[in-house]
A and B are shown apart, each in its own frame.
Chain A
């Protein structure tokens, strides 16, 4: 598959009309619909994730590591429904992380670097959801399941949940470095170099969070100012950046092998780029 000329075999553009009509047109005709599916899934997932983890379950920002057994037991029992329902939603939709990883792996496939980069990232991140998110969901659900459970056991589940979530570091550390390396070596200008460097910052957040395994209180604990709050700001900027950049990548995609063209700056061109049609 070494096509070097961009193809476009789709009809001119979506009909003017209702929003639903246009979406239906894109579903049937947009040559980039798989990529847009992956991108929209990513955006929807992060919204669900934020809503579940922050207001519904109150698992983020994390409660304190230094609480006593009694305080931990109170936290579980006080929020039984939020925990169970919130994590049940995650159990239903967590596979939405797969299209995100696939889209990022695809970005590396589009680059001039070896296919090994995309596959490495895909494999690493496919497994990341298990220790890095689902373990917390299972363990905290089990904790909330029986209000009469021994508080010392609840405390063990509490530690297990939050440490596994915050403290699963290696996948994100090395995965970010793989993406960084791919971007910096890439000659197809798929993603900007500054984002490659931002991957380094994201990888370093995984180093900064390591003291959470050691400290029970203070700025380096799992909800500390440095290990959680500042880290989350970095991660949030990073996530916002790559969601935007992947959108740009899809708009620019020409299904060729060479450097990606830039986004043209007029509205018709953007519409045709969205649809993957010729201009």
Chain B
């Protein structure tokens, strides 16, 4: 992620020097196209994980149903609402940054981080409750998937905090305010949110 702020028309393809137009509108894709490569790749990998989960679920549906019943649907819903709200504020941050209103953008970014932290706290609480209830990573097949999927998502969310840090760093310094970079980071955050919605549906909702 280059930190250069560019005033002129931005290239549509990463790697092209500025000024060399490709004939396409410069903002056809929000943020770096490179980030979308990551998003697509991660989506594919997670799709593979979900497919494996569903396949094994169909083979052991009774065990999975029983184990799913021990999950706390309220905490799961809270998690989903927290992340959706955080995405909303991330959207507001991007809109404010586009309009040049950097103080409000900064505020929105901080609220996004705060809501994300709420998700982390809720997730950890849920894990602790489960483990204390006797359901750990190695308890049965369902919980292996549960902790794996929520764990790897948790990790992506932690990376998301680094990403928000990049946004805040960009928004604070007047020389650094790259709109492309803010949009790139927002893309990542939305992806993490989307992944959670899918995980939530698979693990908590689909019975």
Q: Do chains A and B touch in the complex (CB under 8 A)?
A: yes
Q: Which residues of A contact B (CB under 8 A)?
A: 184-187, 189, 192-194, 196-198, 200-201, 204, 207-208, 211, 214-215, 218-220, 225-226, 230, 233-234, 259, 262
| Interface residue B29 (Cβ < 8 Å from any Cβ of A) | no
Q: Which of B31-39, B79-87, B168-176 contacts A (4 or more CB under 8 A)?
A: B31-39
Least CB distance, B150 to chain A, in whole angstroms:
13
| Count of residues in B whose CB is under 8 Å from the partner chain | 28
Contact among B41, B45, B141, B152 with A207 in the assembled complex (CB-CB below 8 Å):
B152
- Chain A residues in 8 Å Cβ range of B152: 204, 207-208
Shortest beta-carbon distance from A55 to chain B in Å: 26
Given contacts A204-B155, A207-B152, list 4 more A-B pairs with CB under 8 A.
A192-B34, A215-B144, A225-B52, A226-B148
13 A-B residue pairs with CB within 8 Å: A185-B1, A189-B15, A193-B32, A194-B14, A194-B38, A196-B34, A197-B37, A197-B38, A204-B152, A211-B144, A226-B49, A233-B48, A234-B45
Q: CB < 8 Å: which of A201, A211, A259 contacts B45?
A: A201
Instruction: Enumerate chain B residues within 8 angstroms of A196, measured Cβ to Cβ.
Output: 34
Q: Which residues of B contact A (CB under 8 A)?
A: 1-2, 4, 14-17, 32-35, 37-38, 41-42, 45, 48-49, 52, 56, 137-138, 141, 144, 148, 152, 155, 159
Q: Chain B residues near A234 (CB, 8 Å)? A: 45
> By the criterion CB–CB under 8 Å, are A193 and B1 in contact?
yes
The B contact surface, by secondary structure, is helix
Q: How far, in whole Å, are A149 and B170 apart by their CA atoms in the complex?
A: 63
Given A184-B1, A187-B2, A201-B42, A194 contacting B37 (CB threshold 8 A)? yes
Given A192-B34, A193-B32, are A201 and B41 neighbors across the interface (CB < 8 Å)? Answer: yes
Q: Note all chain A residues with C-beta closer than 8 A to B48.
A: 230, 233
Residues of B within 8 A of A186 (CB): 2
**Chain A residue contacts of B37, Cβ below 8 A:** 194, 197-198
Contacts of B41 in A (CB 8 A): 197-198, 201
Minimum CB–CB distance for A260 against chain B, Å: 10
Question: How close is B57's CB to chain A, nearest CB, in angstroms?
Answer: 12
Pairwise interchain contact B34-A211, C-beta atoms closer than 8 A:
no
CA of A20 to CA of B137 in the docked complex: distance in angstroms? 59
Check A230 against B45 for contact (C-beta < 8 Å): yes
Evaluate contact between B56 and A207: CB separation under 8 angstroms. Answer: no
- Closest-by-CB residue of B relative to A237 is B41
Q: Point out which of A192, A194, A200, A220 has the most chain B C-beta atoms below 10 A from its C-beta.
A: A194
Rank and list the top 8 A-B pairs by shortest CB-CB distance, nearest first.
A197-B38, A194-B34, A193-B34, A194-B37, A184-B1, A230-B48, A225-B52, A219-B52
Task: Tell me the complex Cα distance, A50–B37, Å.
Answer: 27
- Report the Cα distance A189→B137, complex, angstroms: 43
**Residues of B close to A218: CB separation below 8 A:** 141, 144
Q: A187-B4, A220-B148 are in contact. Are A197 and B35 (CB under 8 A)?
A: yes
Instruction: Tell me whether B34 and A197 are in contact (CB under 8 A).
Output: yes
How far, in whole Å, are A259 and B17 apart by their CA atoms in the complex?
10
- Closest Cβ of chain B to A195, distance in Å, is 8
